[in-house]
Structures are given as C-alpha cells and as structure tokens.
Amino acid sequence: MQSITFTCEVITPMFLNGADGQTPELRAPSIKGAMRFWWRALHAHLPLAELKKQESAIFGGSGDNVSRSKILIRVFHANQLQTRTEELVPHKPFMKAQAINEGQVFDVQLSITNSKAPININQLRALFELTCLLGGLGKRVRRGMGSINIIKVTDSNSYPVKVDLSYINNLIKEFSPFYTLTTDGIQFTYSGRSEKYGFIKQIQLGKPQNERLLFTISNTTHKIKEKSGYAYDPSMGHAFKGRYASPVYVSTVKGSLRPIITTLNIAPDKNEQQASRLIQEDFKNMIL
C-alpha cells in the first residue's frame, strides 16, 4: 500500500461541521468529497460512461458502477483544533458561525489500497495539492473560506513551493493534456464534445492583497448580484428554490492572500438562456 502524508494549515476560517451539523470538525469524508469533485472537474475530455467508471473505480461507486474506494484517507492533529465564532459572510457581519481557526495545523495521510486502482501515487499527490489550491473545505468555500496551505510533504524537502500558474498547470498535466498556460491563465483546450457539468475551463491567479481579501470577495458578490438581476443566478449560482453551486470558484493562497479564481463550465439547473459570462468577468475583474 503506497502512502503519502501532508502537513497542512488552515489559512482562512473553515466552516466545516461534523455529524451533528453544528460542531466544527475536520473529517476524512469531507476531504474525500472535495478530492472527488476536483478529479471530476479535471476530466471533461472523457465520455460520460468512462468518467463514471474511472471515478467509481477510484473513489467508490454504486448502481452500475458498484465498487469500494481504492483511496484511504486519515486525518491527524496533535491537539484539538481550535474554533471560534467568525463572519460567515464578511460583508454581512451579523451572519456568524463557529469555524476552525486560521493557523490550525493537521496531517492528512493518503493511501492507495489497491495496485489496480486507475490512479498512482504521483497523481494522488497532485490531486490533493489541487484540491487545496483551487478549493478548500466547508461552507462558503467558493468565496475564499476554508482555504488550506500545505506546509510539508513526507516525500519532499522542497516545500513550501512557490505557487504560480506554471506550477498549477504542471499538476493538472498529471490528469489531462487539454489545459494550456496562456497570458490569460490556464485554459481548457479540448476541441471535442464535453458533458454538461462543472468542469474546469479557466484558472487565474490574482495579485497579492491585504487581509481584507475575504471582505472584497464577499462584497463583490453582493454588488454583482444587485447589478445583474435575474441573470445572476444562472451565471453565478443560487441556493433559493433549488441549488446551483457557483461556477466561479475563489480560493486563496498564503502570501498576502493571493486569490485563485477557477471558472467552471456553466451548467445551471434553470434559466440557462440568461447565463452570462460577462457577469462572471465583471466579478473576476473586481477581485483579480
């Protein structure tokens, strides 16, 4: 069984609850779910049947793709992770919840339990890094909350690494040859037909900003929503009368809190004809 261990640090408040839905708790299933999401987002070049087959073979599946997960995830922390009340939506300071504090350190051990799994240890490492860089864990994760910084990796003395688009693009190459680094960021370049779901279309890295970055992200969301009217929901996501998670994913990188913006394919649950990439571009430009 091949394994790799990451030492990680919470760098923005992590609103991640345990089984009771209220008490902050960092659990392996949350990490696995996030890694599964980003694995799927990287494989838009695969036909749907093959996508589901490979995903189930790695992470486990049911129905026509019944299988057990080939990945084992363990979470360790020497002390109880500290929590406190934080602003869940920074431009609305009255909206608060319990969160795992910034600066809390934990270890994540990833293991491949079956040599026939369609993922190797280098890909598993790259996938976890991308999960931390492009996303995070918990509520409001698409608006900069729950971001994770990797401090150390068991098989490397090179951490911490310099995070730039070239580094991120090299991680992506472990999974897909259809992403290219351009002056506008990392772009999806597959010319064939892709399934209608939230796969990665573009990744951009912003300039260093101050400690008010989370407020900027939250307040910008509010301004764009007021400006866009009915076109906001299919363009930027909604949680009213159904749920469509935002296709514009903002995470943060340690070091003056640089924003990483990942734009996913638009696949709204309703009113697709009203979806506008111009609304997305306005939002991104106000943050980058």
Quick one: average pLDDT of 80-108? Answer: 90
The rounded distance, in Å, linking the Cα atoms of 44 and 127 is 15
Domain extents in the chain? 2-287
| pLDDT at 242 (0 to 100) | 82
Q: Is the pLDDT of residue 157 over 80?
A: no
pLDDT grade, residue 159 (50/70/90)?
confident
Q: Is the pLDDT of residue 250 over 90?
A: yes
Q: Is the pLDDT of residue 239 over 70?
A: yes
| pLDDT at 211 (0 to 100) | 74
Phi, psi (5° rounding) for residue 180?
-130, 140
The rounded distance, in Å, linking the Cα atoms of 242 and 253 is 31
β-partners of residue 3 are 111
Which residue type does 163 have?
V
Q: What residues contact 66, with CB distance under 8 A and at least 6 apart?
A: 56
Q: What is the pTM of this model?
A: 0.94
In tens, the pLDDT along 37-48 reads: 999 999 999 999
Phi, psi (5° rounding) for residue 115?
-65, -15
In tens, the pLDDT along 44-76 reads: 999 999 999 999 999 988 766 667 899 999 999
Better-scored residue on pLDDT, 256 or 271? 271
| pLDDT at 63 (0 to 100) | 66
The rounded distance, in Å, linking the Cα atoms of 232 and 209 is 26
When computed from its CA atoms, the radius of gyration of the chain, rounded to whole angstroms, is 18
